[in-house]
Structure 1
Amino acid sequence: MPTDPHATPDAADDGWFPESVAASSDASSDDEFDPAVVERTVDVLADLAGDGAALELAVGTGRLAAPLALRGVPVHGIELSRAMAARVADKPGGDLVEVTIGDMTSARVPGEFAVAYLVFNTIGNVTTQDGQVDCFRTAAAHLRPGGYFVVEVGVPPLRRMPPGQDTVPFTVAPDAAGGGYVGFDRLDVVTQRFTSNHVTVGPDGSGRFRWLPFRYVWPAELDLMARLAGMRLVHRWEGWDRTPFTADSERHVSVWQLAAV
Protein backbone atom coordinates (compact mmCIF):
# COMPACT_ATOMS: atom_id res chain seq x y z
CA MET A 1 0.00 0.00 0.00
CA PRO A 2 1.39 3.46 -0.84
CA THR A 3 2.52 5.67 2.00
CA ASP A 4 1.65 9.35 2.25
CA PRO A 5 1.31 11.76 5.20
CA HIS A 6 -2.21 12.58 4.06
CA ALA A 7 -3.27 8.97 3.73
CA THR A 8 -3.42 7.77 7.33
CA PRO A 9 -7.02 6.79 8.19
CA ASP A 10 -8.43 8.91 11.01
CA ALA A 11 -9.91 5.90 12.85
CA ALA A 12 -7.81 2.75 12.94
CA ASP A 13 -10.71 0.41 13.62
CA ASP A 14 -12.60 1.54 10.52
CA GLY A 15 -9.63 1.83 8.17
CA TRP A 16 -10.38 4.03 5.18
CA PHE A 17 -14.07 4.47 6.05
CA PRO A 18 -14.22 6.07 9.52
CA GLU A 19 -16.96 8.27 10.95
CA SER A 20 -15.77 11.31 8.99
CA VAL A 21 -16.44 9.44 5.74
CA ALA A 22 -19.53 7.52 6.84
CA ALA A 23 -21.27 10.74 7.93
CA SER A 24 -21.41 12.05 4.37
CA SER A 25 -21.52 8.81 2.38
CA ASP A 26 -25.28 8.88 1.79
CA ALA A 27 -25.11 12.48 0.55
CA SER A 28 -22.99 11.46 -2.43
CA SER A 29 -23.94 12.84 -5.83
CA ASP A 30 -22.70 9.68 -7.58
CA ASP A 31 -25.20 8.17 -10.00
CA GLU A 32 -25.18 5.00 -7.90
CA PHE A 33 -27.23 6.83 -5.26
CA ASP A 34 -29.92 7.94 -7.71
CA PRO A 35 -33.19 6.27 -6.60
CA ALA A 36 -33.84 5.03 -10.15
CA VAL A 37 -30.40 3.37 -10.26
CA VAL A 38 -30.92 1.83 -6.83
CA GLU A 39 -34.30 0.43 -7.91
CA ARG A 40 -32.86 -1.04 -11.11
CA THR A 41 -29.98 -2.61 -9.19
CA VAL A 42 -32.32 -4.09 -6.60
CA ASP A 43 -34.49 -5.47 -9.42
CA VAL A 44 -31.54 -7.51 -10.69
CA LEU A 45 -30.48 -8.72 -7.25
CA ALA A 46 -34.04 -9.70 -6.27
CA ASP A 47 -34.40 -11.61 -9.54
CA LEU A 48 -31.18 -13.54 -8.89
CA ALA A 49 -32.15 -14.21 -5.26
CA GLY A 50 -35.50 -15.72 -6.22
CA ASP A 51 -36.88 -17.44 -3.13
CA GLY A 52 -33.49 -17.39 -1.37
CA ALA A 53 -31.42 -15.01 0.75
CA ALA A 54 -28.80 -12.45 -0.28
CA LEU A 55 -25.35 -11.71 1.14
CA GLU A 56 -23.73 -8.32 0.52
CA LEU A 57 -19.97 -8.11 0.86
CA ALA A 58 -19.04 -4.59 2.06
CA VAL A 59 -22.65 -3.63 2.84
CA GLY A 60 -21.66 -0.06 3.70
CA THR A 61 -24.59 2.02 4.94
CA GLY A 62 -27.18 -0.28 3.36
CA ARG A 63 -27.76 1.63 0.11
CA LEU A 64 -28.83 -1.62 -1.57
CA ALA A 65 -29.34 -4.01 1.32
CA ALA A 66 -32.17 -2.02 2.92
CA PRO A 67 -34.37 -1.67 -0.20
CA LEU A 68 -33.63 -5.28 -1.13
CA ALA A 69 -34.85 -6.38 2.32
CA LEU A 70 -38.02 -4.33 1.77
CA ARG A 71 -38.66 -6.51 -1.29
CA GLY A 72 -38.91 -9.49 1.07
CA VAL A 73 -35.42 -10.86 0.39
CA PRO A 74 -33.59 -11.87 3.61
CA VAL A 75 -30.31 -9.91 3.54
CA HIS A 76 -27.12 -10.34 5.56
CA GLY A 77 -24.21 -7.93 5.16
CA ILE A 78 -20.51 -8.09 5.96
CA GLU A 79 -18.86 -4.75 6.69
CA LEU A 80 -15.41 -3.84 8.04
CA SER A 81 -16.32 -0.28 9.07
CA ARG A 82 -18.44 0.01 12.21
CA ALA A 83 -19.16 3.63 11.33
CA MET A 84 -20.69 2.63 7.99
CA ALA A 85 -22.57 -0.37 9.40
CA ALA A 86 -24.12 1.73 12.16
CA ARG A 87 -26.16 3.58 9.53
CA VAL A 88 -27.83 0.56 7.95
CA ALA A 89 -30.68 0.43 10.48
CA ASP A 90 -31.55 4.10 9.87
CA LYS A 91 -32.84 3.34 6.37
CA PRO A 92 -36.31 2.01 5.55
CA GLY A 93 -35.88 -1.75 5.62
CA GLY A 94 -32.50 -1.47 7.30
CA ASP A 95 -33.79 -2.98 10.53
CA LEU A 96 -34.40 -6.18 8.56
CA VAL A 97 -30.74 -6.48 7.54
CA GLU A 98 -28.34 -8.50 9.68
CA VAL A 99 -24.80 -7.11 9.66
CA THR A 100 -21.61 -8.89 10.66
CA ILE A 101 -18.55 -6.74 11.35
CA GLY A 102 -15.65 -8.37 9.57
CA ASP A 103 -13.30 -8.52 6.60
CA MET A 104 -14.97 -9.72 3.40
CA THR A 105 -11.82 -11.65 2.45
CA SER A 106 -12.21 -14.00 5.41
CA ALA A 107 -15.47 -13.47 7.34
CA ARG A 108 -18.03 -16.25 7.58
CA VAL A 109 -21.68 -15.88 8.58
CA PRO A 110 -24.39 -18.48 9.23
CA GLY A 111 -26.82 -19.48 6.53
CA GLU A 112 -26.91 -20.37 2.85
CA PHE A 113 -27.49 -17.74 0.18
CA ALA A 114 -28.93 -17.67 -3.33
CA VAL A 115 -26.92 -14.60 -4.32
CA ALA A 116 -23.88 -12.76 -2.99
CA TYR A 117 -22.87 -9.40 -4.36
CA LEU A 118 -20.05 -6.84 -4.22
CA VAL A 119 -20.79 -3.54 -5.94
CA PHE A 120 -19.59 -0.02 -6.79
CA ASN A 121 -15.89 -0.85 -7.47
CA THR A 122 -15.43 -2.21 -3.94
CA ILE A 123 -13.49 -5.26 -5.13
CA GLY A 124 -10.74 -2.72 -5.89
CA ASN A 125 -10.55 -1.71 -2.22
CA VAL A 126 -8.82 -5.05 -1.73
CA THR A 127 -5.35 -4.13 -2.92
CA THR A 128 -3.80 -7.56 -3.55
CA GLN A 129 -4.67 -10.25 -6.06
CA ASP A 130 -4.70 -12.88 -3.31
CA GLY A 131 -7.18 -10.79 -1.33
CA GLN A 132 -9.45 -10.41 -4.34
CA VAL A 133 -9.36 -14.17 -4.89
CA ASP A 134 -10.36 -14.56 -1.25
CA CYS A 135 -13.44 -12.38 -1.87
CA PHE A 136 -14.59 -14.93 -4.44
CA ARG A 137 -13.90 -17.73 -1.98
CA THR A 138 -15.95 -15.91 0.66
CA ALA A 139 -18.86 -15.68 -1.76
CA ALA A 140 -18.56 -19.34 -2.79
CA ALA A 141 -18.41 -20.50 0.83
CA HIS A 142 -21.82 -18.94 1.48
CA LEU A 143 -23.69 -19.77 -1.73
CA ARG A 144 -26.07 -22.66 -2.14
CA PRO A 145 -25.36 -24.94 -5.13
CA GLY A 146 -26.27 -23.02 -8.28
CA GLY A 147 -26.13 -19.68 -6.43
CA TYR A 148 -24.81 -16.47 -7.99
CA PHE A 149 -22.02 -14.02 -7.23
CA VAL A 150 -22.34 -10.51 -8.69
CA VAL A 151 -19.53 -7.95 -8.99
CA GLU A 152 -19.88 -4.39 -10.30
CA VAL A 153 -16.56 -2.71 -11.17
CA GLY A 154 -15.02 -0.33 -13.66
CA VAL A 155 -12.86 -1.35 -16.59
CA PRO A 156 -9.29 -0.04 -16.12
CA PRO A 157 -9.05 3.21 -18.15
CA LEU A 158 -5.68 2.43 -19.72
CA ARG A 159 -6.92 3.20 -23.24
CA ARG A 160 -7.27 6.81 -22.15
CA MET A 161 -3.58 7.12 -21.21
CA PRO A 162 -0.87 7.80 -23.80
CA PRO A 163 2.62 6.41 -23.13
CA GLY A 164 4.24 8.16 -20.18
CA GLN A 165 1.00 9.34 -18.58
CA ASP A 166 -0.11 7.84 -15.27
CA THR A 167 -3.04 10.07 -14.27
CA VAL A 168 -6.64 10.13 -15.52
CA PRO A 169 -9.14 12.77 -14.26
CA PHE A 170 -12.68 11.52 -13.71
CA THR A 171 -14.38 14.66 -12.33
CA VAL A 172 -13.67 18.38 -12.62
CA ALA A 173 -16.54 20.31 -11.06
CA PRO A 174 -16.06 24.02 -10.25
CA ASP A 175 -18.87 25.71 -8.37
CA ALA A 176 -20.35 29.20 -8.67
CA ALA A 177 -18.88 30.29 -5.35
CA GLY A 178 -15.33 29.91 -6.59
CA GLY A 179 -14.53 26.51 -5.11
CA GLY A 180 -15.08 23.06 -6.51
CA TYR A 181 -14.00 19.45 -6.67
CA VAL A 182 -11.42 17.57 -8.72
CA GLY A 183 -11.14 13.79 -8.82
CA PHE A 184 -8.37 11.85 -10.57
CA ASP A 185 -6.89 8.36 -10.60
CA ARG A 186 -3.15 7.72 -10.63
CA LEU A 187 -2.29 4.27 -11.94
CA ASP A 188 0.73 1.99 -11.81
CA VAL A 189 0.44 -0.36 -14.78
CA VAL A 190 3.15 -2.67 -13.40
CA THR A 191 1.51 -3.47 -10.05
CA GLN A 192 -2.12 -2.75 -11.06
CA ARG A 193 -2.26 -0.50 -8.00
CA PHE A 194 -3.80 2.94 -8.24
CA THR A 195 -4.97 5.74 -6.02
CA SER A 196 -8.27 7.54 -6.32
CA ASN A 197 -7.60 11.16 -5.39
CA HIS A 198 -10.23 13.65 -4.24
CA VAL A 199 -9.52 17.37 -3.87
CA THR A 200 -12.21 19.73 -2.57
CA VAL A 201 -11.57 23.49 -2.57
CA GLY A 202 -13.74 25.97 -0.68
CA PRO A 203 -14.59 29.47 -1.94
CA ASP A 204 -12.02 30.89 0.51
CA GLY A 205 -9.27 28.78 -1.03
CA SER A 206 -9.19 26.24 1.78
CA GLY A 207 -8.83 22.67 0.63
CA ARG A 208 -9.24 19.06 1.67
CA PHE A 209 -7.37 16.17 0.11
CA ARG A 210 -8.25 12.52 0.51
CA TRP A 211 -7.13 9.47 -1.39
CA LEU A 212 -7.91 5.80 -1.38
CA PRO A 213 -5.73 2.89 -2.53
CA PHE A 214 -7.15 0.39 -5.01
CA ARG A 215 -6.10 -2.49 -7.21
CA TYR A 216 -7.65 -2.55 -10.65
CA VAL A 217 -8.64 -5.89 -12.10
CA TRP A 218 -9.50 -7.01 -15.63
CA PRO A 219 -12.74 -8.86 -16.52
CA ALA A 220 -10.79 -11.92 -17.66
CA GLU A 221 -8.80 -11.89 -14.42
CA LEU A 222 -12.05 -11.88 -12.45
CA ASP A 223 -13.27 -14.85 -14.49
CA LEU A 224 -10.17 -16.80 -13.48
CA MET A 225 -10.71 -15.86 -9.82
CA ALA A 226 -14.24 -17.17 -10.14
CA ARG A 227 -13.03 -20.46 -11.61
CA LEU A 228 -10.62 -20.88 -8.70
CA ALA A 229 -13.65 -20.60 -6.41
CA GLY A 230 -15.73 -23.10 -8.38
CA MET A 231 -17.84 -20.60 -10.35
CA ARG A 232 -18.36 -19.85 -14.03
CA LEU A 233 -19.47 -16.71 -15.85
CA VAL A 234 -23.13 -16.64 -16.87
CA HIS A 235 -23.73 -12.91 -17.52
CA ARG A 236 -21.65 -9.82 -18.21
CA TRP A 237 -23.50 -6.55 -18.72
CA GLU A 238 -22.41 -2.94 -19.08
CA GLY A 239 -24.78 -1.92 -16.28
CA TRP A 240 -27.74 -2.88 -14.16
CA ASP A 241 -30.10 -2.34 -17.09
CA ARG A 242 -28.49 -5.47 -18.60
CA THR A 243 -27.10 -3.62 -21.61
CA PRO A 244 -24.59 -5.89 -23.36
CA PHE A 245 -20.94 -5.42 -22.42
CA THR A 246 -18.78 -4.17 -25.33
CA ALA A 247 -15.19 -3.14 -26.03
CA ASP A 248 -16.19 0.46 -25.27
CA SER A 249 -17.86 -0.25 -21.92
CA GLU A 250 -16.29 1.62 -19.02
CA ARG A 251 -17.64 -0.76 -16.37
CA HIS A 252 -19.35 -4.11 -16.07
CA VAL A 253 -21.76 -6.04 -13.93
CA SER A 254 -20.69 -9.67 -14.01
CA VAL A 255 -22.56 -12.70 -12.69
CA TRP A 256 -20.91 -16.02 -11.93
CA GLN A 257 -22.72 -19.18 -10.88
CA LEU A 258 -21.49 -21.73 -8.37
CA ALA A 259 -21.52 -25.25 -9.72
CA ALA A 260 -24.61 -27.23 -8.79
CA VAL A 261 -23.94 -30.45 -6.88
Structure 2
Amino acid sequence: MDERELWNSWADSYDESFLGKSDAGDVVRAVQQYTTKGLLLELGVGTGRIAIPLAKEGIHVDGVDFSERMAGLLRQKAGGLPVSVIVGDMADRHGQDKYEVVLAAHSALTLLQSQQEQLRCLQNTAAALVPGGHLLVESMHPQVFAGKLRGKSINVRAMGADYLDVSATIVDTSKQTATFQDVRMTEQGLKFFPCHVRWIWPSELDLMTQIAGLELVSRGQDWRGTAVTSESSQVISIYQKPHE
Protein backbone atom coordinates (compact mmCIF):
# COMPACT_ATOMS: atom_id res chain seq x y z
CA MET A 1 0.00 0.00 0.00
CA ASP A 2 1.50 3.38 -1.01
CA GLU A 3 1.29 6.46 1.23
CA ARG A 4 -1.76 7.94 -0.49
CA GLU A 5 -3.72 4.70 -0.22
CA LEU A 6 -2.60 4.29 3.39
CA TRP A 7 -3.96 7.64 4.54
CA ASN A 8 -7.04 7.39 2.35
CA SER A 9 -7.83 4.17 4.25
CA TRP A 10 -7.57 6.10 7.54
CA ALA A 11 -9.76 9.03 6.49
CA ASP A 12 -13.21 7.88 7.59
CA SER A 13 -11.95 6.75 11.01
CA TYR A 14 -9.37 9.49 11.57
CA ASP A 15 -11.50 11.73 13.80
CA GLU A 16 -12.58 8.71 15.88
CA SER A 17 -8.93 7.89 16.60
CA PHE A 18 -8.63 11.18 18.51
CA LEU A 19 -11.71 10.75 20.72
CA GLY A 20 -10.90 11.67 24.31
CA LYS A 21 -7.96 13.89 23.33
CA SER A 22 -8.73 17.50 24.22
CA ASP A 23 -5.45 19.18 23.34
CA ALA A 24 -6.80 21.18 20.38
CA GLY A 25 -7.58 24.15 22.65
CA ASP A 26 -4.03 24.14 24.02
CA VAL A 27 -2.63 24.13 20.48
CA VAL A 28 -4.86 27.06 19.48
CA ARG A 29 -3.77 29.10 22.50
CA ALA A 30 -0.11 28.35 21.79
CA VAL A 31 -0.45 29.35 18.13
CA GLN A 32 -2.14 32.62 19.05
CA GLN A 33 1.04 33.68 20.86
CA TYR A 34 2.95 33.64 17.57
CA THR A 35 0.56 35.03 14.97
CA THR A 36 -0.87 38.53 14.57
CA LYS A 37 -2.13 38.52 10.99
CA GLY A 38 -3.56 35.02 11.26
CA LEU A 39 -1.79 33.19 8.42
CA LEU A 40 -0.65 29.65 9.16
CA LEU A 41 0.51 26.55 7.28
CA GLU A 42 -0.31 23.17 8.86
CA LEU A 43 1.67 20.15 7.71
CA GLY A 44 -0.27 16.87 7.66
CA VAL A 45 -3.56 18.68 8.31
CA GLY A 46 -5.69 15.51 8.11
CA THR A 47 -9.40 16.17 8.50
CA GLY A 48 -8.90 19.39 10.44
CA ARG A 49 -8.76 18.39 14.12
CA ILE A 50 -6.55 21.46 14.74
CA ALA A 51 -7.23 23.51 11.59
CA ILE A 52 -10.97 23.91 12.24
CA PRO A 53 -10.58 25.32 15.81
CA LEU A 54 -7.81 27.62 14.53
CA ALA A 55 -10.00 28.89 11.70
CA LYS A 56 -12.85 29.53 14.14
CA GLU A 57 -10.48 31.93 15.93
CA GLY A 58 -9.96 33.86 12.70
CA ILE A 59 -6.61 32.32 11.75
CA HIS A 60 -6.36 31.54 8.03
CA VAL A 61 -5.05 27.98 7.67
CA ASP A 62 -3.43 26.53 4.56
CA GLY A 63 -3.41 22.79 5.25
CA VAL A 64 -1.23 20.29 3.38
CA ASP A 65 -2.08 16.61 3.28
CA PHE A 66 -1.07 13.66 1.12
CA SER A 67 -4.55 12.10 1.19
CA GLU A 68 -7.20 13.32 -1.25
CA ARG A 69 -9.83 11.62 0.93
CA MET A 70 -8.66 13.48 4.03
CA ALA A 71 -8.61 16.74 2.10
CA GLY A 72 -12.15 16.18 0.82
CA LEU A 73 -13.47 15.59 4.34
CA LEU A 74 -11.71 18.71 5.59
CA ARG A 75 -13.26 20.83 2.83
CA GLN A 76 -16.70 19.54 3.83
CA LYS A 77 -16.11 20.35 7.51
CA ALA A 78 -14.57 23.77 6.86
CA GLY A 79 -17.61 25.26 5.13
CA GLY A 80 -17.09 29.03 5.02
CA LEU A 81 -14.17 29.04 7.48
CA PRO A 82 -10.79 30.44 6.34
CA VAL A 83 -9.25 27.07 5.48
CA SER A 84 -7.51 26.24 2.20
CA VAL A 85 -6.53 22.65 1.48
CA ILE A 86 -3.46 21.65 -0.53
CA VAL A 87 -3.20 18.01 -1.62
CA GLY A 88 0.48 17.21 -1.81
CA ASP A 89 3.71 16.19 -0.08
CA MET A 90 4.37 18.24 3.04
CA ALA A 91 8.11 17.99 2.34
CA ASP A 92 7.63 20.15 -0.77
CA ARG A 93 7.66 23.95 -0.73
CA HIS A 94 4.27 25.53 -0.15
CA GLY A 95 4.48 29.32 -0.27
CA GLN A 96 7.56 31.46 0.33
CA ASP A 97 8.09 34.19 2.94
CA LYS A 98 4.36 34.02 3.57
CA TYR A 99 3.46 32.39 6.88
CA GLU A 100 3.84 33.66 10.42
CA VAL A 101 3.47 30.12 11.75
CA VAL A 102 4.05 26.64 10.37
CA LEU A 103 2.51 23.91 12.53
CA ALA A 104 3.49 20.23 12.52
CA ALA A 105 1.14 18.71 15.11
CA HIS A 106 0.73 15.12 16.32
CA SER A 107 4.09 13.76 15.07
CA ALA A 108 3.44 14.89 11.47
CA LEU A 109 7.16 15.20 10.67
CA THR A 110 7.78 11.57 11.64
CA LEU A 111 5.49 10.41 8.83
CA LEU A 112 8.29 11.35 6.44
CA GLN A 113 10.23 8.12 6.13
CA SER A 114 13.86 9.28 5.97
CA GLN A 115 16.09 11.89 7.56
CA GLN A 116 16.66 13.37 4.09
CA GLU A 117 12.93 13.94 3.56
CA GLN A 118 12.54 15.36 7.05
CA LEU A 119 15.41 17.78 6.46
CA ARG A 120 14.00 18.79 3.06
CA CYS A 121 10.67 19.49 4.73
CA LEU A 122 12.32 21.69 7.35
CA GLN A 123 14.31 23.60 4.74
CA ASN A 124 11.18 24.29 2.71
CA THR A 125 9.35 25.21 5.91
CA ALA A 126 12.01 27.79 6.72
CA ALA A 127 11.62 29.23 3.21
CA ALA A 128 7.85 29.50 3.73
CA LEU A 129 8.16 31.50 6.96
CA VAL A 130 8.34 35.27 7.11
CA PRO A 131 11.40 36.65 8.97
CA GLY A 132 10.60 36.31 12.65
CA GLY A 133 8.06 33.54 11.93
CA HIS A 134 7.81 30.38 14.02
CA LEU A 135 7.76 26.63 13.44
CA LEU A 136 5.83 24.65 16.08
CA VAL A 137 6.58 20.91 16.20
CA GLU A 138 4.66 18.38 18.31
CA SER A 139 5.88 14.79 18.44
CA MET A 140 5.94 11.66 20.52
CA HIS A 141 9.16 11.58 22.53
CA PRO A 142 11.47 8.93 21.01
CA GLN A 143 12.14 7.48 24.46
CA VAL A 144 8.64 5.99 24.22
CA PHE A 145 9.69 3.97 21.18
CA ALA A 146 13.21 3.16 22.39
CA GLY A 147 11.94 2.10 25.81
CA LYS A 148 8.35 1.12 26.48
CA LEU A 149 7.53 -0.04 22.94
CA ARG A 150 10.90 -1.55 22.03
CA GLY A 151 10.62 -4.75 19.97
CA LYS A 152 7.25 -6.29 19.16
CA SER A 153 4.02 -5.88 21.09
CA ILE A 154 0.27 -6.48 20.77
CA ASN A 155 -2.27 -4.58 22.84
CA VAL A 156 -6.04 -4.65 23.15
CA ARG A 157 -7.26 -1.10 22.59
CA ALA A 158 -10.98 -1.65 23.08
CA MET A 159 -13.56 -4.39 23.04
CA GLY A 160 -17.29 -4.92 23.25
CA ALA A 161 -19.92 -7.57 22.66
CA ASP A 162 -19.57 -7.27 18.87
CA TYR A 163 -16.09 -5.85 18.26
CA LEU A 164 -12.42 -6.08 19.24
CA ASP A 165 -9.75 -3.46 18.52
CA VAL A 166 -6.14 -4.69 18.60
CA SER A 167 -2.95 -2.72 18.00
CA ALA A 168 0.32 -4.38 16.95
CA THR A 169 3.67 -2.57 16.99
CA ILE A 170 7.14 -3.37 15.69
CA VAL A 171 9.97 -1.02 16.73
CA ASP A 172 13.42 -1.03 15.11
CA THR A 173 15.74 1.17 17.17
CA SER A 174 18.60 0.77 14.68
CA LYS A 175 16.53 2.50 11.99
CA GLN A 176 14.52 4.81 14.31
CA THR A 177 11.31 3.35 12.92
CA ALA A 178 8.03 2.09 14.34
CA THR A 179 5.36 0.26 12.35
CA PHE A 180 1.82 0.09 13.70
CA GLN A 181 -1.18 -1.95 12.60
CA ASP A 182 -4.52 -1.27 14.22
CA VAL A 183 -7.12 -3.96 13.49
CA ARG A 184 -10.86 -3.70 14.15
CA MET A 185 -12.69 -7.04 14.20
CA THR A 186 -16.48 -6.96 13.88
CA GLU A 187 -19.25 -9.23 12.63
CA GLN A 188 -18.86 -7.48 9.27
CA GLY A 189 -15.18 -8.46 8.98
CA LEU A 190 -11.75 -6.96 9.54
CA LYS A 191 -10.53 -3.38 8.98
CA PHE A 192 -6.83 -2.55 8.95
CA PHE A 193 -5.28 0.82 9.80
CA PRO A 194 -1.50 0.75 9.19
CA CYS A 195 0.99 3.49 10.02
CA HIS A 196 4.76 3.75 10.06
CA VAL A 197 7.01 6.52 11.39
CA ARG A 198 10.65 7.48 11.47
CA TRP A 199 11.08 9.20 14.84
CA ILE A 200 13.33 12.21 15.46
CA TRP A 201 15.36 12.78 18.61
CA PRO A 202 15.04 16.36 19.95
CA SER A 203 18.77 17.00 19.49
CA GLU A 204 18.51 15.66 15.92
CA LEU A 205 15.58 17.98 15.24
CA ASP A 206 17.57 20.91 16.63
CA LEU A 207 20.44 20.15 14.25
CA MET A 208 18.17 19.78 11.22
CA THR A 209 16.35 23.03 11.99
CA GLN A 210 19.70 24.77 12.50
CA ILE A 211 20.78 23.57 9.05
CA ALA A 212 17.47 24.93 7.72
CA GLY A 213 18.22 28.32 9.28
CA LEU A 214 15.92 28.22 12.31
CA GLU A 215 16.70 28.79 15.99
CA LEU A 216 15.27 26.95 19.00
CA VAL A 217 13.07 29.21 21.16
CA SER A 218 11.57 26.82 23.70
CA ARG A 219 10.76 23.20 24.44
CA GLY A 220 8.22 21.50 26.70
CA GLN A 221 6.35 18.24 27.13
CA ASP A 222 3.00 19.89 26.38
CA TRP A 223 1.58 23.05 24.80
CA ARG A 224 1.59 24.79 28.21
CA GLY A 225 5.38 24.57 28.41
CA THR A 226 5.77 21.97 31.18
CA ALA A 227 9.41 20.88 31.39
CA VAL A 228 10.48 17.73 29.54
CA THR A 229 11.55 14.85 31.81
CA SER A 230 12.78 11.27 31.44
CA GLU A 231 9.12 10.21 31.71
CA SER A 232 7.72 12.56 29.05
CA SER A 233 5.77 10.87 26.28
CA GLN A 234 5.79 13.84 23.93
CA VAL A 235 7.82 16.95 23.22
CA ILE A 236 6.85 20.36 21.82
CA SER A 237 9.65 22.30 20.11
CA ILE A 238 9.29 25.91 18.95
CA TYR A 239 11.72 27.45 16.46
CA GLN A 240 12.04 30.92 14.96
CA LYS A 241 13.32 32.23 11.65
CA PRO A 242 15.74 35.08 12.40
CA HIS A 243 14.68 38.63 11.59
CA GLU A 244 16.50 40.07 8.61
Q: Which residue of 1 is the match for residue 180 of structure 2?
A: 196
Residue 223 of structure 1, CA deviation = 0.6
Note closer, same or farther for the CA distance 1:197–1:51 as it changes in structure 2 (3 Å cut).
same
After alignment, is 176-185 or 42-51 more displaced? Answer: 176-185
Q: Which amino acid aligns with 1:114?
A: E
Q: Which SS does the other structure have where 1:86 is aligned?
A: helix
Any conservation in 2 of the 1:89–1:95 contact (CA below 8 Å)? no
Q: Which residue of 1 is the match for residue 171 of structure 2?
A: 187
Report 1:90-129 matches (<5 A): 90-91=76-77, 95-109=81-95, 112-129=98-115
Q: Distance in 1 between matches of 2:57 and 2:173?
A: 42
Residue 48 of structure 1, CA deviation = 1.5
**Greater share of strand residues, 1 or 2?**
2
Deviations 1:172-197 (A, max 9, x none): 23423163212232111111122012
Deviations 1:200-254 (A, max 9, x none): 222x594333322211111111111110110111111111232221221111111
Pick one of 184, 189, 200 that aligns with 1:217: 200
Note closer, same or farther for the CA distance 1:179–1:52 as it changes in structure 2 (3 Å cut).
closer
Note closer, same or farther for the CA distance 1:227–1:167 as it changes in structure 2 (3 Å cut).
same
Q: Which amino acid aligns with 2:124?
A: T
Report 1:18-97 matches (<5 A): 18=8, 20-32=9-21, 34=22, 37-91=23-77, 95-97=81-83
Aligned length: 242
Q: Which residue of 1 is the match for residue 226 of structure 2?
A: 243
Q: Which residue of 1 is the match for residue 147 of structure 2?
A: 159
Q: Which amino acid aligns with 2:168?
A: F
Q: Which SS does the other structure have where 1:48 is aligned?
A: coil
Q: Distance in 2 between matches of 1:110 and 1:258?
A: 13
Coordinate RMSD, CA, aligned: 2.2
Q: Which SS does the other structure have where 1:141 is aligned?
A: helix
Any conservation in 2 of the 1:65–1:94 contact (CA below 8 Å)? no
Q: Which SS does the other structure have where 1:197 is aligned?
A: strand
Q: Which residue of 2 is the match for residue 5 of structure 1?
A: none
Q: Which residue of 1 is the match for residue 5 of structure 2?
A: 15
Q: Which residue of 2 is the match for residue 175 of structure 1?
A: 159
Q: Distance in 2 between matches of 1:154 and 1:167?
A: 18
Note closer, same or farther for the CA distance 1:80–1:207 as it changes in structure 2 (3 Å cut).
closer
Q: Distance in 2 between matches of 1:29 and 1:132?
A: 24
Residue 111 of structure 1, CA deviation = 6.0
Any conservation in 2 of the 1:226–1:232 contact (CA below 8 Å)? yes
Q: Which residue of 2 is the match for residue 256 of structure 1?
A: 239
Q: Which amino acid aligns with 2:243?
A: A
Note closer, same or farther for the CA distance 1:184–1:31 as it changes in structure 2 (3 Å cut).
farther
> TM-score normalised to the size of structure 1?
0.84
Any conservation in 1 of the 2:75–2:85 contact (CA below 8 Å)? no
Question: Structure 2: which 5+ residue stretches go unaligned?
Answer: none
